[in-house]
């Protein structure tokens, strides 16, 4: 009979003993796999939803976006000739104005100006129910407007009320319930308003140089090849700085965001699996300890080490598959059951369904994690000798393992990290996260060993003599290697993740909500026309509440080439290359400008165009002095040489341009000005009213509102990550419960001896509580260090902001650690306290 | 006649097992006087160890009265019994029952520490020296042989200078030579402290070292022993 068949036969017989000792094993694996599977199912659902609704989200089969301008007549004609149907959209920020009872109310809004063809796909749903064309049509000579209910509520509007955009009056005809193309809009600072483009002619809002984008949405015939069409469009508009999107990826920003967030959550899920791995390893070890006599008997009957190893790996493998299967079923069912809630909270369409891809991914992670954490204890079965039958049976499966198993574990670890890196697409982040988890694991392992040794030594010192409860609690920590390790690693790792999330979240909120407003301006004002700048400056200078006004000319452009090579080929997907950037010009450097290398141009310089570029971004993009950049500004390519680098601080929310050029380089290009107004908070309302009354076309963005909006988005992300961290902590809790349950027999025995020697139950209870508290305290303290370290690394290197230790959550983590371990310990203290010593001791005879 | 320090009156012990309720001890009546040594013998399952557990307050009688040193153990709660044991009793088990996470010295000092004795460790060291283990005080149970562990257990039982010393087959897990050594130590300790000793054993020759031998059969004191017990 082959070794495998023999092993399978023994394994099958052994498994009939039931799963009692494997509850924690199964729970740890199932929970970790379920969390990853659920994240994957939701991500796949969103991706499928975006793909299914791609054309509707995009507003057409394809879209060509222009910055700052409408298509020239010949360009428009070319698009008309190429597509079945073309719809023209203009998108910009503005202020919606309402005059009521002699008072003027204003609200920031994101305006979408549309033509009759909009929307090519889908329907804009309105209240009251009517078509968009009817809603936007003239009502007694005044054009109609439809507005997001949020803004309608904020301004206290009713259907039929008059509102203004720039100089143009509109009548509110309906509220927007939904628009098919809103998911692709991404992050907007103001609620949506839709008007007819032709109605804006007299508004003064779409003049040359004002900040707006146009999009030409194309409906194409079914057999038209979108790739070929894209090539044709890019050739036709090669010098126009256009951006292309098509229905295959209707909302690339949303898709990328969902991808990145879910990849990050999968990494948090993998931490959960690592925590669960501790429970898995402990369960396997405990099971094999109990099987030492069986293994020794098998060895004495002639079974070789290979047969023994196969026997138990088959058992553990079968159980691991069972645990993973439970996890996959849970991970698939939970999102399906919660579909209505998930879909209601998502701003994008989702088609949540059971898909094999995410389940396969989660199953693979579970399988690899189970293998990593079980090989080590399984390999120790090779050390069991038949002589274990005649000695203490718990000591058989200890000792070192052969190098082949260490190498196998290493290979599996590399496979797991590699798989996570490939599947998440976030290679650097995955490697850092894997390094952090491994580092934390090693630190916790070393700490557990150190604590054990220290406790053992402390219990033997004269200091604790006369305090038997404390001494025996400390001695127990020193004596129970397995329990000390399991508790400190599982709880420590879970709390570390939570501590890191707490530190990062707090520092991020702090940077946005507290640090920023101290130095940030009250308003950003955009779309200031050249002839309005002096007037605005004069108006603000007369207001004593205004402490400072800074302004700069502004254009927008897209960096298309670096040293005559397509920019993406040189600098990849750096954010500076994503879409258009603000560009300014200046004869002299600003008084706060700090040139880090190179030299600013002469004030009257009129030679070939020169650029001063932001130092940090230049380093990230690999730019050097003397490099040339080709920037498409309003369809015109300008190639300029980088002659200086300068520091640009975006953290203060002041004016900061990546690109500044010499004035002659941009001569003649239509542009507007941007201004920042620094003023007392109490005066902000009046300043807005003054500016908007005098200059209806310009848009003022209140920085506090923008910060609140950003904070809101970040709060959502932080909540998602916190849920992930909590899943890790729950796994840690299960491991704790498993550890406490595994130690219950030993505690019952210890309690019986202590009672026999005269210890009252109170003293025994305090003893158990103390050792739990010590372990919880240790895990909590290590978690704070690990969390603060991770928080510092992410805050400093990823978010590029200052880091401060947040004490409240840190101490909360320690308190939580103690509370969780003490409660778990006490949960399993009842039986040791109530057991009769006689029965316990006689059972051991 | 000296007043008994142990007095059992019509004691019954029944326990719930997998096969239902089992009567372990039936109508036990027994007096033991101060300083006396009593050997309890009988076949396996006759109730010897259960009787010893009742005397130690580790098991509760289902009926009857168990009086030790003028205290009615059947009326005391768990904590009162624990305090009573640490003050008056020393117990030695067949399987030693040392706390595995404590060194020999810590195991021996523990009952004194629980009583709040400030010289617990000095007395524990002296007691370990008395059983010949003064060189093994820092060792843990897992680092010692069975005989050494039982010697630690003896020292732990003797360290409180008990009025009543209970030993449940203390040589059951040991070889003959080591067993004999342990028995010598047990009687030596009993002599040094003048304690009353109740010894449970399978071996008739060991029991015969006691002043009196009581035979148990089917949970009852056997007639010849009953007569001897009543003397």
Neighbours of A546 (CB within 10 A): 18
- Does B16 contact chain A (CB < 8 Å)? no
Check B53 against A842: CB less than 8 A apart.
yes
Distance from CA of A802 to the nearest CA of B (A): 47
How does A398-435 read in b/e, with b if 16+ C-beta sit within 10 Å?
eeebeeebeebbeebbeebbebbbebbebeebbebbbe
Average pLDDT over residues B92-99: 87
Ranges of beta strands (E only) in B118-226 are 164-168, 196-200, 212-217, 220-221
Residues of A in contact with B49 (CB under 8 A): 842, 845
Taking an 8 Å cut-off on Cβ atoms, the answer to whether A466 and B113 are in contact is yes
- Could you tell me if A753 and B82 are in contact, meaning their C-beta atoms sit under 8 angstroms apart? no
| Angle at CA of residue B180, ends B178 and B184, nearest 5° | 115
Q: Across residues A549-560, what is the average pLDDT?
A: 84
Q: Which residue of A has its CA nearest to B110?
A: A468
Contacts with A, B 104-143, CB within 8 Å: 106, 109-111, 113-116, 118, 120-121, 138, 140, 142
Cis peptide before A743 (omega within 30 of 0): no
**Can you tell me the distance from the alpha carbon of A712 to that of A160, in angstroms, rounded to the nearest whole number?**
32
More confident residue, A28 or A645: A645
pLDDT: which is higher, A307 or A207: A307
Answer yes or no: is pLDDT of A187 > 60. no
**Structural tokens at position A97:** 């104005």
Identify the band that residue A398 occupies on the pLDDT scale cut at 50, 70 and 90. Answer: low
**By CA distance, what is A481's nearest residue in B?**
B101
Neighbours of A227 (CB within 10 A): 9
B2 close contact with A: CB closer than 8 A: no
Specify whether the CB–CB gap between B93 and B87 falls below 8 A.
Answer: no
pLDDT tier for residue B1 given thresholds of 50, 70 and 90: low
Contact partners, residue B156, CB within 8 Å, separation at least 6: A757, B90, B98, B107, B108, B110, B111, B127
Provide the residue count of chain A: 845
Q: In sequence order, what DSSP letters do the residues of B14-57 get, joined into one string?
A: EEEETTEEEEEEEEEEEEEETT-EEEEE-STTSSHHHHHHHHTT
Within a 10 A sphere around the Cβ of A461, how many other Cβ atoms?
10
Residues of chain B positioned with their CB less than 8 A from the CB of A838: 50, 53, 56, 58-59
Which of B58, B111, B156 lies nearest to residue A838, judging by beta carbons? B58
Q: Which of B77, B80, B101 to mutate to test the interface with A (most CBs of A within 10 A)?
A: B101
Contact B42, B71 (CB under 8 A): no
**Residue A739 to residue A24: CA distance in whole angstroms:** 9
Residue A190 DSSP code: S
Is residue A722 within 8 A of residue A731, CB to CB? The reply is no
For Cα atoms A49, A55, A61, give the angle at the middle one, nearest 5 degrees.
Answer: 150
Q: Across the interface, which of A758, A762, A845 has its CB nearest the CB of B86?
A: A758
Residue A175's Cβ-side half-sphere holds a number of Cα atoms within 13 Å equal to 13
Q: Is the Cβ of B78 closer than 8 Å to some Cβ of chain A?
A: yes
Range list of β-strands (E), A480-564: 523-528, 546-562
Rounded Cα gap, residues A369 and A269, in angstroms? 12
Q: For A647-737, list the strands marked E by DSSP.
A: 659-661, 672-679, 699-702
Decide if B101 and A472 are in contact by the 8 Å CB cutoff.
yes
Contact (Cβ atoms closer than 8 angstroms) between residue B164 and residue B89: yes
Confidence (pLDDT) at A467: 81
Contacts of B86 in chain A (CB under 8 A): 757-759
B40 contact A CB<8A: no
| Helix, strand or coil, per DSSP, at residue A73 | helix
Banded pLDDT at B230 (limits 50, 70, 90): very low
3-state secondary structure A111-179: EEEECCCCCCCCCCEEECCCCHHHHHCCECCECEEEECHHHHHHHCCCCCCEEEECCEEEEEEEEEEEC
Proportion of chain B above pLDDT 90, given as a percent: 46
Task: Find, among A434, A711, A433, A425, the residue nearest to A573 by Cα.
Answer: A425
Instruction: Report residue A265 as tokens.
Output: 């959550």
CB contact under 8 A, B59 and A472: no
The model's confidence at residue B117, banded by pLDDT at 50, 70 and 90, is confident
Give the Cβ contact number of residue B119 at 10 Å: 12
* Cβ contact, residue pair B93, A845, below 8 Å: yes
Residue A151, classified by CB atoms within 10 Å of its CB into exposed (0-12), middle (13-18) or buried (19+), is buried
CB contact under 8 A, A472 and B110: yes
Any CB–CB contact under 8 A between A843 and chain B? no
Of A392, A479, A838, the CB nearest to B59: A838
- CB distance B120 to A465 below 8 Å: yes
ipTM: 0.79
Write out the H or E segment, with its range, that includes residue B176. helix B176-193
Residue in A closest to B140 by C-alpha? A479
Q: Cβ contacts of residue A363 below 8 Å, gap of 6+?
A: A33, A37, A324, A328
Report the residue from A462, A836, A841 with minimal CB separation from B93: A841
- The pLDDT, as a whole number, for residue B30 is 93
Interface test with A, best of B91, B113, B149, B172 (most A CBs within 10 A): B113
Q: What is the distance between the alpha carbons of residues A300 and A679, in angstroms, rounded to a whole number?
A: 88
User: What does the block give as tokens for A350?
Assistant: 């989702």
How far apart are alpha carbons A422 and A417 in whole angstroms?
Answer: 9
The DSSP-derived string for B133-152 is -TT-TT--GGGS-HHHHHHH
Mutation site for B-interface testing, chosen from A757, A768, A835, A844 by largest number of B Cβ within 10 Å: A757
Q: Band the pLDDT of A394: cuts 50, 70, 90.
A: very low
What tokens does A101 get?
Answer: 């009872």
CB-count burial class (<10 Å; 0-12, 13-18, 19+) for B230: exposed
Question: What is the predicted pLDDT for the residue at A324?
Answer: 94
What residues of chain A, 476 to 505, have a C-beta less than 8 Å from chain B? 476, 478-480
Torsion of CA A662, A668, A671, A674, to 10 degrees: 30
Instruction: Name the band, by pLDDT with cuts 50, 70 and 90, for residue B28.
Output: very high
For A760, the closest of B82, B93, B101 (CB atoms) is B82
Structure confidence at residue A325 as a pLDDT band (50, 70, 90)? very high
DSSP A197: G
Spatial CA neighbour of B216 closest among B206, B229, B205:
B229
The CA distance from B98 to the nearest CA of chain A, in Å, is: 8
A755 CB neighbours in chain B (<8 A) are 58, 78, 82
What is the side-by-side strand order in the sheet with B89-92? B89-92, B164-168, B196-200, B37-41, B212-217, B220-221
pLDDT averaged over every residue in chain A: 82
Residue B127 to chain A, least CA–CA distance (Å): 16
- Taking the CA of residue B121 and the nearest CA in chain A, the distance in Å comes to 8
pLDDT band at A829 (very low <50, low <70, confident <90, very high): confident
Above 70 in pLDDT, residue A519?
no
| Spans of all domains in chain A | 1-52+264-425, 62-219, 443-520+704-845, 530-697
Mutant choice from B48, B49, B58 vs A, greatest count of A C-beta within 10 A? B58
What residues contact residue B158 under an 8 Å CB cut-off, 6+ apart?
Answer: B90, B127, B130, B165, B189, B192, B193
Residue of A nearest to B121 (CA): A465
Nearest to A192 by CA among A212, A178, A206: A178
Q: How confident is the model at residue B224 (pLDDT cuts 50, 70, 90)?
A: low
Chain A residues close to B17, C-beta within 8 Å = none
In this structure, are residues B214 and B228 in contact, taking their beta carbons and an 8 Å threshold? yes
Query: What is the DSSP pairing of strand A699-702 with strand A523-528?
Result: antiparallel
A132 compared with A730, residue with greater pLDDT: A132
One DSSP character per residue, A249-304 reads GS-HHHHHHHHHHHHHHHHHHHHHHHHHHHHHHHHHHHHHHHTHHHHHHHHHTT--
Range of the domain at B172: 4-230
Closest to B101 (Cβ–Cβ): which among A466, A478, A839?
A: A478
A841 in contact with B at a CB cutoff of 8 Å? yes
Tokens linked to A372: 């990593």
Q: Is B102 part of the contact surface with chain A (CB cutoff 8 Å)?
A: yes
Strand partners, A585: A661
| Nearest chain B residue (CA) to A761 | B79
**Contact check, Cβ <8 Å, A756/B91:** yes
Least confident of A111-120, A406-415, A425-434: A425-434
Query: Where residue B183 sits, what CATH number does that domain have?
Result: 3.40.50.300
Q: How large is the average pLDDT for residues A558-574? A: 85
pLDDT at B231: 44
> A351 by DSSP, 3-state: which?
coil
HSE of A376 in the Cβ direction (CA atoms, 13 Å)?
Answer: 19
Q: Which of A156, A217, A389 is nearest to A291 (CA)?
A: A389
Q: How far is residue B133's CA from residue B127's CA, in Å, rounded to a whole number? A: 9
Tokens of B94: 């067949």
Q: Does the distance separating the beta carbons of B53 and A845 come in below 8 Å?
A: no
pLDDT at A299 over 80: no
pLDDT of residue A393: 41
Q: Is the dihedral of CA B79, B80, B81, B84 positive or negative?
A: positive
Measure CB to CB from residue B102 to each of A475, A761, A763 and give the nearest one. Answer: A475
Give the pLDDT score at A399.
Answer: 65
Q: How confident is the model at residue B159 (pLDDT cuts 50, 70, 90)?
A: very high
| Residue A758: pLDDT band with limits 50, 70, 90 | confident
pLDDT of A61 over the 50 cut: yes
Structure tokens at A338: 């919660």
Under a CB-based contact definition with an 8 Å cutoff, are residues B135 and B147 in contact?
Answer: no
């Amino acid at each position: 009979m082959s070794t495998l068949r023999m092993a399978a036969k023994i394994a099958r017989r052994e498994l009939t003993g039931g799963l009692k000792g494997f509850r924690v094993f199964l729970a740890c694996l199932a929970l970790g796999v379920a969390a990853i599977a659920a994240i994957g199912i939701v991500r796949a659902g969103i991706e499928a939803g975006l793909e299914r609704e791609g054309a509707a989200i995009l507003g057409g089969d394809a879209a060509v976006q222009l910055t700052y301008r409408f298509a020239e007549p010949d360009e428009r004609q070319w698009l008309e000739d190429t597509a079945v149907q073309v719809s023209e959209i203009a998108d910009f920020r503005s202020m919606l104005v309402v005059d009521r009872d002699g008072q003027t109310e204003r609200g920031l809004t994101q305006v979408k100006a549309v033509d009759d063809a909009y929307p090519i796909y889908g329907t804009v749903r309105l209240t009251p129910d009517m078509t968009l064309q009817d809603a936007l049509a003239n009502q007694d000579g005044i054009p109609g407007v439809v507005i997001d209910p949020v803004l309608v509520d904020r301004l206290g509007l009713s259907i039929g009320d008059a509102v203004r955009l720039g100089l143009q009056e509109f009548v509110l005809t309906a509220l927007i319930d939904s628009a098919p193309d809103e998911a692709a809009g991404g992050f907007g600072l103001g609620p949506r308003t839709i008007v007819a483009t032709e109605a804006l002619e007299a508004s003064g809002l779409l003049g040359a140089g004002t900040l707006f984008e146009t999009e030409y949405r194309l409906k194409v015939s079914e057999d038209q090849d979108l790739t070929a069409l894209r090539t044709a469009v890019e050739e036709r508009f090669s010098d126009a700085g256009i951006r292309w999107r098509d229905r295959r990826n209707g909302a690339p920003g949303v898709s990328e965001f969902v991808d990145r967030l879910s990849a990050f959550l999968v990494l948090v899920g993998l931490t959960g699996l690592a925590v669960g791995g501790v429970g898995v390893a402990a369960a396997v070890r405990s099971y094999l300890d109990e099987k030492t006599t069986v293994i020794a008997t098998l060895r004495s009957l002639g079974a070789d080490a290979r047969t023994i190893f196969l026997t138990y790996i088959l058992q553990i493998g079968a159980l691991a598959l069972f645990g993973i299967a439970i996890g996959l079923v849970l991970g698939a069912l939970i999102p399906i059951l919660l579909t209505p809630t998930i879909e209601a909270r998502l701003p994008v369409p989702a088609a949540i369904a059971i898909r094999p891809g995410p389940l396969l991914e989660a199953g693979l992670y579970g399988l690899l994690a189970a293998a990593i954490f079980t090989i080590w204890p399984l390999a120790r079965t090779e050390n069991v000798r038949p002589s274990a039958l005649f000695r203490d049976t718990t000591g058989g499966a200890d000792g070192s393992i052969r190098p082949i198993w260490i190498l196998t574990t290493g290979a599996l670890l590399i496979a797991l990290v590699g798989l996570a890196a490939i599947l998440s697409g976030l290679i650097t982040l995955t490697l850092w996260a894997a390094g952090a988890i491994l580092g934390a694991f090693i630190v916790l392992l070393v700490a557990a060993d150190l604590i054990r040794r220290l406790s053992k030594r402390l219990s033997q010192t004269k200091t604790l003599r006369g305090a038997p409860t404390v001494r025996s609690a400390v001695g127990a920590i020193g004596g129970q290697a397995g329990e000390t390790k399991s508790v400190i690693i599982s709880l420590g790792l879970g709390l570390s993740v939570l501590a890191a999330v707490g530190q990062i979240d707090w520092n991020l909120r702090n940077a946005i909500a507290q640090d920023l407003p101290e130095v940030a301006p009250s308003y950003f004002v955009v779309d200031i026309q050249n002839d309005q700048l002096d007037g605005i400056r004069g108006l603000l200078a007369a207001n004593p509440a205004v402490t400072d006004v800074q302004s700069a000319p502004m254009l927008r452009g897209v960096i298309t080439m670096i040293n005559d090579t397509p920019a993406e080929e040189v600098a990849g997907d750096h954010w500076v290359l994503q879409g258009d950037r603000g560009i300014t010009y200046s004869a002299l450097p600003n008084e706060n400008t700090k040139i880090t290398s190179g030299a600013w141009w002469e004030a009257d310089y009129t030679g070939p165009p020169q650029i001063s570029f932001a130092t940090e971004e230049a380093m990230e993009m690999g730019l050097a002095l003397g490099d040339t950049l080709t920037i498409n500004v309003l369809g015109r390519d300008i190639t300029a040489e980088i002659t200086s680098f300068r520091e640009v601080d975006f953290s203060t929310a002041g004016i900061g341009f990546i690109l500044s050029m010499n004035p002659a380089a941009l001569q003649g290009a239509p542009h507007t000005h941007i201004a920042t107004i620094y003023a007392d908070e109490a005066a902000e309302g009046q300043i807005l009213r003054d500016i908007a009354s005098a200059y209806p076309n310009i848009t003022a963005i209140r920085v506090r509102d923008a910060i609140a909006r950003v904070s809101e988005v970040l709060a959502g992300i932080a909540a998602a990550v916190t849920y992930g961290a909590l899943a890790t902590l729950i796994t840690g809790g299960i491991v704790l419960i498993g550890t406490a349950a595994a130690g219950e027999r030993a505690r019952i025995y210890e309690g019986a001896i202590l009672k026999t020697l005269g210890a009252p139950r109170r003293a025994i209870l305090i003893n158990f509580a103390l050792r739990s508290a010590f372990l919880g305290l240790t895990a909590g303290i290590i978690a704070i260090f690990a969390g603060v370290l991770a928080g510092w690394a992410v805050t400093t290197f990823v978010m590029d902001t200052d880091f401060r230790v947040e004490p409240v959550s840190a101490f909360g983590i320690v308190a939580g650690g103690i509370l969780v371990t003490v409660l778990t310990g006490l949960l399993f203290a009842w039986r040791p306290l109530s057991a009769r010593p006689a029965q316990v001791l006689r059972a051991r005879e | 006649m000296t007043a008994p320090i142990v007095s059992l009156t019509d004691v019954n012990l029944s326990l719930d097992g997998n096969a239902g309720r089992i009567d372990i001890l039936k109508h036990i009546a027994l007096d033991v006087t101060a300083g006396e040594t009593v050997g309890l013998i009988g076949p396996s399952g006759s109730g010897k160890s259960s009787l010893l557990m009742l005397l130690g307050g580790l098991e509760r009688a289902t009926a009857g009265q168990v009086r030790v040193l003028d205290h009615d153990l059947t009326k005391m709660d768990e904590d009162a019994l624990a305090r009573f044991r640490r003050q008056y009793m020393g117990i030695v088990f067949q399987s030693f029952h040392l706390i595995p996470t404590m060194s020999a010295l810590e195991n021996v000092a523990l009952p004194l520490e629980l009583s709040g004795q400030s010289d617990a460790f000095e007395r524990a060291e002296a007691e370990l020296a008395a059983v010949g283990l003064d060189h093994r005080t820092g060792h843990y149970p897992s680092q010692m042989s069975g005989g050494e562990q039982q010697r630690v257990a003896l020292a732990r039982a003797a360290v409180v200078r008990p009025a009543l010393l209970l030993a449940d087959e203390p040589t059951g897990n040991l070889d003959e030579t080591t067993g004999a050594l342990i028995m010598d130590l047990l009687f030596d300790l009993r002599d040094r402290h003048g304690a009353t000793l109740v010894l449970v054993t399978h071996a008739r020759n060991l029991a015969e070292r006691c002043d009196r031998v009581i035979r148990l059969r089917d949970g009852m004191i056997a007639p010849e022993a009953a007569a001897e017990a009543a003397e």
